[in-house]
Structure 1
Amino acid sequence: MPELVAPAGWPRQVRPPGAPGWEHTAVAWLLDICPPEFRSYPVLRRHDVVLARFAVLHVEACQAAVLRGLSEARGVLRDVADLDAVEAAVETWQTEAARLLGERRAVGLVEEALRGKRFVARL
């Protein structure tokens, strides 16, 4: 029986590739990180790899939004919020940027696995 390997950054909610039913856990996780409307599209429910591609693009769009928020925060918010609130908003954007970086890695790994890639243990 081959060793089941989940690489660093693999989402803990998804069983390792090759484990029984791992694709079902992958689909559930992908649907959870995507907008709720994605659940209503039959193609995304029937085609795991298509769902994974949509999820990758969704996370990348979120990353772009965070970068825009960071670049605009101080200029746009200074007229509507005090300095403490603006700095808290910047910190929130930074926290979200870090979270999305990990999520982007995880989504990419799941997409690769759904496309057939298998990971091997490294020494």
Structure 2
Amino acid sequence: MLDHCPPDYRLYPAWRRHPVALAWFTVRHLDAQLDAMRSAYREVRVELVDDIGPEGVAQVLSDLECEGVRLLSARRAAGLLLDALRGLEFVPRL
């Protein structure tokens, strides 16, 4: 979980002592990153086209898509871990 948070968070003992709190905070941190990624994706065409041109915008959009997929995967994993630490049972779906 600490790998998904800023490196400075390793300095705080509460995150190591209380894994439920770490998972809870990690979910919120990843949600904020996803919000920022979605906002950047919406605004990049208008904000950067004059600075980096259409080809640069296309590259940035591609990178934002890849990062968004990574963040969604990490968010799902963190959410499942938080549920498990809280004692919720996982029921597989067909």
Q: Same fold (TM over 0.5)?
A: yes
Aligned to 2:34: 63
Identity of aligned residues (%): 44
Aligned to 1:119: 90
Shift of 1:35: 1.0
Tell me the secondary structure at the aligned position of residue 2 of structure 2: helix
Q: Render the CA deviation track for 1:61-92: whole Å, top value 9, x for unaligned.
A: 11001011101101111121021111110111
Determine the C-alpha separation between the residues in 2 that align with 1:116 and 1:47. 15
1:80 paired residue among 48, 51, 74: 51
One-letter amino acid matched to 1:100? L
Tell me the secondary structure at the aligned position of residue 78 of structure 1: helix
- 1:89 and 1:121, CA in 2 relative to 1: closer, same or farther beyond 3 A? closer
Determine whether 1:109 maps to 2:74. Answer: no
Q: How many residues align?
A: 94
Provide structure 1 residue ranges, at least 5 long, that are not aligned to the other structure: 1-29
Tell me the secondary structure at the aligned position of residue 89 of structure 2: coil
Deviating above 3 A after TM superposition, structure 1's stretches of 4 or more consecutive aligned residues are 120-123
Shift of 1:118: 3.3
CA RMSD of aligned residues (A): 1.5
More helix by share: 2
TM-score by length of 2: 0.90
Aligned to 1:40: 11
